[in-house]
């Protein structure tokens, strides 16, 4: 995504064939990874068409034909699914991706309620983004978007249709509008089409770099206006935030994926899924094996412990010989010494017997990261 946008922005500056080929190729690669990338060549062509630069070396018709020919040929060659029926299969992918069907009975916890991932509220992305982005970065991104909107609409309201019409004041404003739309269009489509999202905003991580660009434009404003003290203060705060992030990664390893910022952490830590990847599972099982030579373990959450043996080679023997996992089967729990849960469920656990901790077990070990309970083990 970053490389395709890099060549697309260069194309809008240089208007050269070699850059056109690179832009189309990497846009095809981005679309192959995630089909929503198909909007990249469209927005690139649109900006090329609207640009009134005198540097254009390729006519509009030639640009359109060459650019989209290279794009679709590249997409076809690198995507075997399109080989048999390129048009029909591409349309099928686009249609399905707008609201990807959930093929199993699965619910996600969101703000304390279990809901179907096909019917998420419009604010799902915004809540996840606000809670999992470091506070200073979140503030700068917000200021960056507001600054861009203010600057652009201040210019837009002054456009004179009778003069040399242009949708932007200069090349820098054009690029900022380009970056803003690259961020805004997928988010707008996800909300309007009610696209299926699962845990977190990981399906939209590719938008983050362009929010960073907009936040840097906000910082650059103070530098251009020679407000050097404010500019340096922001830089100091950013470096401090980076230090805090690095420290969190160091102290939380290998469960640093469990991050909620200090502003919202206490509000959402019991209302959003925590370690839904199960990254902390191995850490806890390893701890049990240091305390007990033979561990018979059942599970009381939607978490697969059987795959932890693939994470290591050094103590694989101890896993095979000293660890017995019964899963969530109720009839085996009373024969287990320990019961594990990471409090991640595929539906509301209230009425599900296999997710309950039987009587006769007490809390034995808790994996806690930054005051957030990641998983817990109960002992008979």
Residues 193 and 293 in one domain: no
Q: Which of 273, 294, 329 is the endpoint of a domain? A: 273
Residue 158 near residue 27 (C-beta atoms within 8 A) = no
The whole-number average pLDDT for the span 290-301 is 88
Residues 121 and 213 in one domain: yes
Number of domains in the chain: 3
| φ and ψ of 13, to 5 deg | -100, -40
Question: Does residue 315 surpass a pLDDT of 60?
Answer: no
Q: Which of 218, 240, 273 is the endpoint of a domain? A: 273
Taking the C-alpha atoms of residue 348 and residue 354, their distance in angstroms, rounded to an integer, is 12
In tens, the pLDDT along 178-189 reads: 999 999 999 998
Computed on alpha carbons and rounded to an integer, the radius of gyration of the chain in Å comes to 26
In tens, the pLDDT along 335-347 reads: 899 999 999 998 8
CA dihedral 145, 147, 153, 154 (to 10 degrees): 180
Residues 188 and 297 in one domain: no
The whole-number average pLDDT for the span 138-147 is 94
In tens, the pLDDT along 60-80 reads: 899 999 999 999 999 999 999
Sort 109 into a burial class: Cβ within 10 Å, 0-12 / 13-18 / 19+: buried
Residues 158 and 261 in one domain: yes
Residue 63 near residue 27 (C-beta atoms within 8 A) = no
Residues 169 and 294 in one domain: no
Residues 257 and 316 in one domain: no
Residues 92 and 115 in one domain: no
The whole-number average pLDDT for the span 48-69 is 84
Residue 166 lies in a domain: yes
221: its two tokens: 């404003």
Residues 157 and 125 in one domain: yes
Question: Does residue 373 surpass a pLDDT of 60?
Answer: yes
Residues 79 and 141 in one domain: no
Residues 345 and 248 in one domain: no
pLDDT at 318: 57
Question: Does residue 168 surpass a pLDDT of 90?
Answer: no
Residue 103 lies in a domain: no
Q: Which of 40, 69, 98 is the endpoint of a domain? A: 98
pLDDT at 161: 62
pTM: 0.86
Range of the domain at 83: 1-98
Residues 79 and 178 in one domain: no
Q: What is the DSSP string of 138-150?
A: HHHHHHHHHHHHH
Residue 186 lies in a domain: yes
Residue 36 lies in a domain: yes
The whole-number average pLDDT for the span 196-204 is 84
Residues 190 and 114 in one domain: yes
Residue 213 lies in a domain: yes
Q: Which of 273, 288, 258, 310 is nearest to 117 (CA)?
A: 273
* Residue 299 binned pLDDT confidence (cut-offs 50, 70, 90): very high
Question: Does residue 242 surpass a pLDDT of 90?
Answer: yes
In tens, the pLDDT along 87-110 reads: 999 998 888 777 666 555 688 899
pLDDT at 53: 67
């Amino acid at each position: 995504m970053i490389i395709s946008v890099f060549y697309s922005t260069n194309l809008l500056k240089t208007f050269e064939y070699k850059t056109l080929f690179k832009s189309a190729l990497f846009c095809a690669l981005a679309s192959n990874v995630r089909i929503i990338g198909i909007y990249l060549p469209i927005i690139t062509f649109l900006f090329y068409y609207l640009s009134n630069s005198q540097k254009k070396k390729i006519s509009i018709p030639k640009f359109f034909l060459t650019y989209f020919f290279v794009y679709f040929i590249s997409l076809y060659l690198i995507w075997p699914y399109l080989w048999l029926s390129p048009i029909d299969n591409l349309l099928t992918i686009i249609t399905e991706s707008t609201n990807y069907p959930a093929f199993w009975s699965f619910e996600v916890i969101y703000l304390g309620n279990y809901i179907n991932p096909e019917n998420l509220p419009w604010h799902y992305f915004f809540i996840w983004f606000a809670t999992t982005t470091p506070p200073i970065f979140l503030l700068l991104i917000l200021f960056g978007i507001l600054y861009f909107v203010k600057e652009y609409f201040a210019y837009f309201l002054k456009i004179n249709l009778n003069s040399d019409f242009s949708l932007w004041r200069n090349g820098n404003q054009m690029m900022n509008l380009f970056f803003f739309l690259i961020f805004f269009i997928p988010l707008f489509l996800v909300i309007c089409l009610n696209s299926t999202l699962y845990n977190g905003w990981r399906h939209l991580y590719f938008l983050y770099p362009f929010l960073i660009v907009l936040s840097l434009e906000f910082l650059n404003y103070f530098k251009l206006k020679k407000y050097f003290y404010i500019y340096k203060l922001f830089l100091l705060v950013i470096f401090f935030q980076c230090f805090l992030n690095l420290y969190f990664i160091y102290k939380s390893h290998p469960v640093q994926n469990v991050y909620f910022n200090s502003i919202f952490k206490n509000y959402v830590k019991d209302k959003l899924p925590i370690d839904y990847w199960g990254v902390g599972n191995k850490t806890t099982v390893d701890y049990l094996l240091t305390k007990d030579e033979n561990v018979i373990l059942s599970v009381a959450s939607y978490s697969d412990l059987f795959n932890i043996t693939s994470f290591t080679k050094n103590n694989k023997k101890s896993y095979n010989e000293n660890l017995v996992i019964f899963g969530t089967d109720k009839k085996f729990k009373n024969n287990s010494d320990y019961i594990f849960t990471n409090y991640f469920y595929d539906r509301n656990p209230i009425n599900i017997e296999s997710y309950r901790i039987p009587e006769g077990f007490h809390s034995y070990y808790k994996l806690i990261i930054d005051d957030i309970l990641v998983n817990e083990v109960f002992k008979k």
